[in-house]
Amino acid sequence: MTISRTTATFAPPVMEARRWLEGVAFTEEKPLINVSQAAPVAPPPEALRRHIADTAINVPEAHLYGPVLGLPELRSEVASQWSAAYGAPIAADQVAITSGCNQAFSAALAAIAGEGDEVILPTPWYFNHKMWLDMQGVTAVPLNTGEDLLPTAEAAAALITPRTRAIALVTPNNPGGVEYSAGLARAMYDLAKAHGLRLIVDETYRDFDSRDGAPHDLFSDPEWPDTLIHLYSFSKAYRLTGHRVGAMISSAALLAEAEKFLDTVTICPNQLGQHAALWGMQNLTDWLAGERLEILDRRAAIEDNLPKLTEKGWVLQGAGAYFAYFAHPFDMPSDQLAQNLVRDHAILTLPGTMFMPEGDPAGARTLRIAFANVNRAEIGVLFDRLAAVSY
């Protein structure tokens, strides 16, 4: 009997967690606090929505097939802004627009790896990266990060084999929230380059990094296209999650390989979403800066409320961008704890078991809290509820 590719991996974690809500009643006095998903729940700002509507009415070609690698105007804008942000020249033909950042990762892997190959993923890992590797027959090699959630190039080097094709990083990290230093990014890049590997750097949350300026200097190497694959999402920046617009920056030759994959999956990225992303890049700089400040304040609220939990034995391992990652103090695995939190405390969060290899003890003792959709006051309530947990 033939086994399908999808049976090689687990069910989508966010969808699984939503099923925990079935049959559970919440009250006005104690409504559900949902910190399970890292996605904006508000629509784009009104000015952007009006631009999307105007485009839908007045730009006929926005309803037709477009270039597989994206609108030339958007590719050029990304190249220009990224060149300025990272202080190094990036050409438009080194930019591809994709149907979200997950598709950018999938396209990159399709271009560089085949069945039986290996990709090194720091743990805890972003579950969709692991799922895609599983479905492609590519082995995800876990790179342990320890209590600070930061990988090291030395540990990664020990995992490289003749089958290794890439090292994949997410910074600011999902699920851990930690921001990889410029030195760490450079060490991983140098390691990948020395071994002829690709370094995939997913910077979906770069707009909410707490640091000013470029978080790394990887584009400064004139030979970066031979090693670096940079991924980005417009979803978080402009609340375009439903429009599915992402980007991949690499060599023109690699993008030509990725184009084969993209053409067979979606043919072209969503046209209205691309027009929206372009308008947002050109008109919403100040608005996005305000969004960043709000996210940074929510991160500060995590720190401000932290004593409520540390005195109960909780340990904050990482916080940044949309996420806080905690070690819990209870004598039960995190997947059971997460389900109990729904029933007993009206909190929906994801257990560390969803971000770790099966059976890894670090997964059983950790939880991810996605705090981007709860304000400072709600974070206070969340921590009060968590502090009251006793099992």
Backbone angles phi, psi at 34, to 5 degrees: -100, 105
CA atoms within 13 A on the CB side of 365: 14
Residue holding tokens 């069945």?
A: 115
Percentage of the chain beyond pLDDT 90 is 94
Rg of the chain over all Cα atoms, to the nearest angstrom = 21
- pLDDT 10s digits, 267-326: 999 999 999 999 999 999 999 999 999 999 999 999 999 999 999 999 999 999 999 999
- What mean pLDDT do residues 337-366 have? 96
β-strand partners of 162: none
DSSP 8-state secondary structure symbol assigned to residue 112:
H
CA distance 355 to 140: 12
Structural domains in the chain plus CATH codes: 5-43+287-387 (3.90.1150.10), 46-284 (3.40.640.10)
User: Which residues, other chains included, contact 94 with Cβ-Cβ below 8 Å and sequence gap of 6+?
Assistant: 79, 225, 249, 250, 251, 252, 255
C-alpha neighbours within 13 Å on the C-beta side of residue 30: 14
pTM of this structure? 0.95
CA distance 160 to 144: 14
Give SS3 for 103. helix
pLDDT, one tens digit per residue, over 2-14 is 678 899 898 888 8
3-class SS at 45?
coil
Compute CA distances 377 → 16, 168, 300, 373, whole Å. Answer: 28, 35, 12, 12
d(CA 127, CA 363) in angstroms, rounded, equals: 12
Model confidence pLDDT, tens digit, residues 153-201: 999 999 999 999 999 999 999 999 999 999 999 999 999 999 999 999 9
Which residue carries 């970066």 as its tokens?
224
Distance CA 321, CA 178 (A): 8
Note whether 176 and 170 are within 8 A (CB).
Answer: no
β-strand partners of 33: 347
